[in-house]
Amino acid sequence: MKKNLLTALWFTLVTTVMFGVLYPLAITGLAQVLFPHRANGQLIQKNGTIVGSRIIGQSFTGPGYFHSRPSFAGTGYDATSSSGSNLGPTNKALLERVKGDVQKLQAENPNAAIPIDLVTTSGSGLDPEISPAAAEFQLPRVARERGMKEEDVRTLVQKYTKGRDLGFLGEPRVNVLELNLDLDSVRPLR
């Protein structure tokens, strides 16, 4: 009995050290060597200052910027509180928020169909990308506010539009942060 207990304790200790300490350290080290940019959060720097991450969305509210999807993560785009709203399709609070968003978007672009991702949150609340349709919907406003031709803004949108992974996985998407940063460098807001 005593021998079995000692064997079990040693086995627990050895496997804890192996799989709880050594293995994570080895994988972290390997990731740092092979994929350092990805392992460190795909951070984006501008003038030596970190302005965001390619993989975590953030809020853009100014009329001269492309807007991200709505977020329900914490107080909005809070990476420490990643989650969706968990509100069902008949929830009054959700319906009121969506109606308000639809009214604002209809006022912005009255003759265009509103892409669903401009009024719905993602599962994490931190989606850094919008659909090409959502970017196209916002294009006239951004071009007008920046004093640019719509075709020039459309060219920038296409530059940051990523297709389906491996040609068939996921949907085409536009990274909002990268697009807005490029807009700021090409034509800063007045």
Sketch the domain layout of the chain as residue ranges: 1-40, 42-186
- Which amino acid is located at 49 in the chain? T
Arithmetic mean of pLDDT, 34-51:
86
d(CA 113, CA 101): 13
Nearest CA to 85 out of 55, 56, 120 is that of 120
Q: What is the pLDDT of residue 180?
A: 95
| C-alpha to C-alpha distance for 39 and 53, rounded to whole angstroms | 12
- The span from the CA of 180 to the CA of 61, in Å, is 11
Instruction: Evaluate if residue 160 carries a pLDDT over 90.
Output: yes
Q: What is the pLDDT of residue 94?
A: 87
Alpha helices in 109-149, H assignment, sequence order: 132-146
Distance CA 135, CA 64 (A): 13
pLDDT at 81: 76
Mean pLDDT of 145-160: 95
pLDDT band at 181; cut points 50, 70, 90: very high
What is the per-residue pLDDT for 87? 82
pLDDT digits over 72-130, tens only? 877 777 777 777 777 888 989 889 989 999 999 999 888 899 999 999 888 787 889 99
Closest among 71, 91, 66, 79 to 143, alpha carbons compared = 66
Q: What is the pTM of this model?
A: 0.79
- Tokens matching residue 180: 């807005």
